[in-house]
């Protein structure tokens, strides 16, 4: 990151959004994808500028086309939510898939949510489970809850109370309400051996993971 964007981030962290915007704009016009993504974030959140979803989408798209993965997720989210553009779930899936395949956990969750609900494409619980798992394995709590629920129901995966117990337990630790309720139902049906195996699986999946660096991003869509 060049001096301009570095200084912009320092201004941003102090709440000096107008100053940050000027520095990011200079770098963005020179083709810096990260600066383009930050400009999208400013417009999406009304920080130092009037909230403007159309401008946010434009900057996010430019950043995504320049290789910023989280910006690609944001473009998908804006299509899914109809912010700054007509709502288009199929287009949202296209952008979510692009970011998901590059490893963005938010995009993986968002893509799975649309596939599970059949919005923008035919419902595909099996592929949804695959993407929920990839996000869940990176520590995405909502994905852990959704994956655990799929295992408890045998939806898109073989029914497996041990897997369901593990993922629902991890999600419930983050306060995911529906995960706690589903977990109670799973526990009631589990044998002693299944509870032992489930506890061991929770321990194995609870190892700490590295967190991503600070990058502008929208809330999850699903």
The verdict on pTM exceeding 0.85 is yes
Is residue 41 a part of any domain in this protein?
Answer: no
Residue 68 lies in a domain: no
pLDDT of residue 3: 72
136 occurs within a structural domain: yes
Q: Report yes or no on 36 lying in a domain.
A: no
pLDDT for residue 111: 98
- Could you tell me if residue 19 is inside a domain? no
CA distances from 101 to 70, 72, 203 (A): 12, 11, 28
Give φ, ψ of 125 to 5 degrees: -65, -30
Angle at CA of residue 46, ends 68 and 27, nearest 5°: 40
| Distance of alpha carbon 184 from alpha carbon 218, whole angstroms | 32
Domain span at 132 = 124-206
**Site of tokens 């190892």:** 207
Side-chain-side CA neighbours of 80 within 13 Å: the count stands at: 29
Segment 148-169 shows an average pLDDT of 97
Q: Is 60 exceeded by the pLDDT of residue 196?
A: yes
Whether 34 contacts 1, CB under 8 Å: yes
Q: Let me know if residue 133 belongs to a domain.
A: yes
Residue with token string 């099996």: 126
Average pLDDT over residues 20-36: 96
Structural domains in the chain (count):
1
107-146 burial: b if 16+ Cβ within 10 Å, else e? bbbbbbbbbbeebbbeebbeebbbbbbbbbbbbbbbbbbb
25 is a domain residue = no
Question: Confidence band (pLDDT; 50, 70, 90) for 142?
Answer: very high
Q: Is residue 4 part of a domain?
A: no
Among 41-45, 182-186, 206-210, the minimum mean pLDDT is found in 206-210
Stretch 113-140: mean pLDDT: 97
């Amino acid at each position: 990151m060049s001096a301009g964007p570095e200084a912009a981030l320092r201004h941003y962290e102090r709440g000096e959004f107008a100053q940050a915007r000027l520095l990011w704009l200079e770098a963005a016009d020179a083709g810096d994808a990260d600066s383009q993504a930050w400009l999208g974030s400013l417009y999406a959140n009304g920080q130092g500028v009037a909230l403007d979803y159309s401008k946010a989408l434009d900057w996010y798209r430019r950043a995504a086309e320049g290789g910023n993965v989280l910006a690609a997720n944001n473009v998908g989210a804006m299509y899914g939510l109809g912010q700054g553009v007509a709502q288009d779930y199929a287009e949202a899936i296209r952008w979510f898939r692009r970011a998901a395949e590059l490893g963005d956990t938010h995009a993986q969750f968002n893509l799975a949510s649309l596939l599970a609900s059949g919005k923008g494409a035919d419902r595909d619980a099996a592929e949804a489970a695959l993407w929920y798992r990839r996000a869940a394995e990176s520590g995405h709590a909502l994905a852990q809850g959704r994956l655990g629920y799929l295992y408890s129901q045998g939806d898109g995966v073989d029914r497996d109370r041990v897997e369901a117990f593990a993922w629902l337990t991890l999600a419930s630790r983050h306060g995911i309400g529906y995960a706690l309720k589903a977990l109670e139902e799973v526990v009631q049906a589990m044998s002693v051996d299944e509870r032992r195996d489930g506890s061991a699986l929770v321990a194995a999946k609870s190892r700490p993971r590295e967190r991503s660096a600070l990058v502008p991003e929208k809330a999850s869509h699903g």
